[in-house]
Structure 1
């Protein structure tokens, strides 16, 4: 086999097959993906710039929001440029090591996305349940350590799956039916035993997803109890309104994730009842929808962010008048 390195069963490169069955409309599919990616990049970089430049946003809640935006940019950039090259120019070949690197970054940043949403839920819990101690509990040092631990968790849990995938024997070919390299899409073209890969992938998904969902659920249960105990309806509405954008961000992340995992398990264990192109499209939306929508949601639902945007444009208008 010419695609193998010498006598080993490690391919020199893989072929990412795009979206099988929809080759004739690859170009049309690329337009909404490119538009969403552009919105994600502009929106998240704009949000990070506002939080950095506006002192009114130098608070723990917005530091976590900046961390979410940073994660969103890295998460969608790990796959979308490569996907667009496939859809636009039919550039399907990817080096074996580059494929493993992409797989590592995809799973690391999706895990980090979930972790940052959990940190934001804990931030809202402290803000509502312990408002007088908010600034002393969530110091810059605590925020930095929490962000580092979240990143380290993703890295440490993804490294073993990357190592396992690297050492699999590949003698079924080198064509991956996907637009990017993810763990099971690469592993399933191996002729070796991938049971360990499958089990480990499920364990990691449960460890990250299950733990984060549990933490978010507990946080919002405590928040709801604290909000209900407030004396006035106005105070209850004001307290809970600070959580609206975060709840929307959780929904935006969880809904595509749910459908992605559902199509994956159905495709793998349910007799392929769902076409593979549906699974691939959902997997791309899972990585693209949250980065696209999160800046819009926080811009619309968060008063401080809206005011910061207004100040930014008014400042720009005033500076133009000075010339």
Structure 2
């Protein structure tokens, strides 16, 4: 194992994941909240899926997009948490080269899909507030399905060059990754060749993904605010804009740590490694956990359905 850090190789059979460097002694303790968040993620998102499926009144575009978000959150968490917990609990640090590339693909693919779904949810809020009488006509079921499929295909195709390019580079320095799982820049930075193609394409994906999506969401909310301020009373404005608060909370929870991780990886900001790793894991662990909680607490229809379920079980 020690020789793998210094010997020259061009096609490593495995990578070594260090977890959280400098906090190895606390891995078991850190795994407790990580595991708890994973359990909450699974229970919360499955509950959302079950409620939307069994409640006819929730068969609307907003809740269809919420189901897409729930499925994506489950897949995003599952693509990383088993690897992280295996490392923390059993000191299982090795991951095969092909498995590492597969993991980095799924991490970025599901992140791109989730970003696209947030744009679709912003579109739904815009139509619901700015075109309320035509909402069901504009966002009919076939269009909702097409939007969802488009966002999935965009993520699948946009991220596909990541593992393809990473597999072409020679790795002759080290196979040790100072991270909890495989991500694009953490892997290609280990290559002993010019990786400007991977780096530039990563910036292209960042622009076509998160940056463009945030721009589109911002445009939708500018139009929403224009419509809200035209309402006659303050109560009407607050009530109308209140329907967007869940979406805004989810946006902040997803994009803030995601952009932090992307920018610090590429531009090497002077941040302690263990702090960087912990914060970078937030966007993989926290949004999937809190998204169903936010919508469960803030959405009256979901709250009412959940209360009925609890009441039925209690009788």
TM-score (norm 1): 0.93
* Correspondence for 1:307 among 301, 304, 307: 304
Alignment of 1:46-57 (within 5 A): 46-57=47-58
Alignment length (residue pairs): 312
Does 2:257 align with 1:245? no
Alignment of 1:36-75 (within 5 A): 36-75=37-76
**Deviations 1:15-45, CA, capped at 9 Å, x for gaps:** 1111111111111111111111111111111
Q: Partner residue of 2:19?
A: 18
Q: Partner residue of 1:321?
A: none
Does 2:285 align with 1:288? yes
- State the secondary structure of the residue aligned to 1:94: strand
Alignment of 1:140-155 (within 5 A): 140-155=141-156
CA distance in 2, matches of 1:151, 1:36: 25
CA distance in 2, matches of 1:120, 1:55: 20
CA RMSD of aligned residues (A): 1.8
Could you tell me which runs of 5 or more consecutive residues in structure 2 were left unpaired when the two chains were aligned. none
Which fold has the larger relative contact order, with Cα–Cα distance below 8 Å and residues 6 or more apart in sequence?
Answer: 2
CA distance in 2, matches of 1:35, 1:21: 23
- State the secondary structure of the residue aligned to 1:178: coil
Check the 8 A contact 1:51/1:57 in 2, yes or no.
Answer: yes
How far did 1:89 drift? 0.5
**Deviations 1:185-226, CA, capped at 9 Å, x for gaps:** 111111121111111111110111111011101100111111
Does 2:209 align with 1:208? yes
CA distance in 2, matches of 1:3, 1:24: 23
- State the secondary structure of the residue aligned to 2:160: helix
Q: Partner residue of 2:33?
A: 32
Could you tell me which runs of 5 or more consecutive residues in structure 1 were left unpaired when the two chains were aligned. 319-323
CA distance in 2, matches of 1:104, 1:264: 17
| More off after superposition, 253-262 vs 109-118 | 253-262
CA distance in 2, matches of 1:262, 1:183: 13
Check the 8 A contact 1:75/1:109 in 2, yes or no.
Answer: yes
* Correspondence for 1:278 among 275, 292, 297: 275
- State the secondary structure of the residue aligned to 1:15: strand
Alignment of 1:1-323 (within 5 A): 9-265=10-266, 268=268, 270=269, 273-318=270-315
CA distance in 2, matches of 1:158, 1:258: 16
CA distance in 1, matches of 2:101, 2:262: 21
| More off after superposition, 9-18 vs 144-153 | 9-18
TM-score (norm 2): 0.95
Check the 8 A contact 1:116/1:147 in 2, yes or no.
Answer: yes
CA distance in 2, matches of 1:313, 1:36: 22
CA 1:301 to 1:230, structure 2 compared with 1: closer, same or farther past 3 Å? Answer: same
Check the 8 A contact 1:3/1:12 in 2, yes or no.
Answer: no
How far did 1:158 drift? 0.7
Check the 8 A contact 2:253/2:283 in 1, yes or no.
Answer: no
How far did 1:102 drift? 0.3
How far did 1:238 drift? 2.0
**Deviations 1:258-288, CA, capped at 9 Å, x for gaps:** 432343345x2x4xx2121111111111111
- State the secondary structure of the residue aligned to 2:16: strand
| More off after superposition, 235-244 vs 97-106 | 235-244
